[in-house]
Amino acid sequence: METSEDNKAFVRAKNLVLRRLTRRDYSVKEIKQYLKKKGTEEFLIDEVVSFLLEKKILDDSRCAISIIRQQVRRAKGSLFIKHKLQQKGIRLSGDDFKSLLVAAGGIDELDMAQSIIKCKYPSARADRKVAARAFRALLRRGFSAEIARTVINKDIEE
């Protein structure tokens, strides 16, 4: 009797996840949190996740690429993107992160930062206060201080 109930619970949990995955890719951590919130038992959560990983329906690297693409479109720097991935439960080494950046279309942070400065802070060249504001804005967007400094100094020199 218990096995049929466990089987029904497994199918219910699996269907919950499959419906959720039709909208976008989710990380393993997000799926586990979702199932826990829905009241699924811990052993069923592990079974469903391992089943979906085995069938390659759930994939953290595919989720990471999706997040990277989305954040690049929003003109976010690599530090911001790394933080976002960590929030989603995706931990990557430096080399893995770089390879995923290339797989997601390869961004040039310097060019992206320069375009942000030209669009949002065109007077940064003439005014030190605006340049400082632009520098802080780049840091908030997840660009490293080195890239922000390079872009600001390059823009001022031109």
pLDDT at 6: 78
> Could you give the CA distance from residue 62 to residue 157 in angstroms, rounded to a whole number?
41
- Return the closest-CA partner of residue 111 out of 139, 86, 147, 78: 147
| 87-to-12, 28, 91 alpha-carbon distances in Å | 27, 12, 9
pLDDT at 1: 37
> Could you give the CA distance from residue 81 to residue 31 in angstroms, rounded to a whole number?
20
**pLDDT per residue of the chain (158 residues) written in tens, 0 to 9:** 357 777 899 999 999 999 999 999 999 999 999 999 999 999 999 999 999 999 999 999 899 989 988 998 898 998 999 999 999 999 887 777 777 777 777 678 888 899 999 999 988 888 899 999 999 999 999 999 999 999 988 755 55
In eight-state DSSP terms, residue 124 is G
Digit-coded pLDDT (tens) for 66-105: 998 899 889 899 899 999 999 999 988 777 777 777 777 7
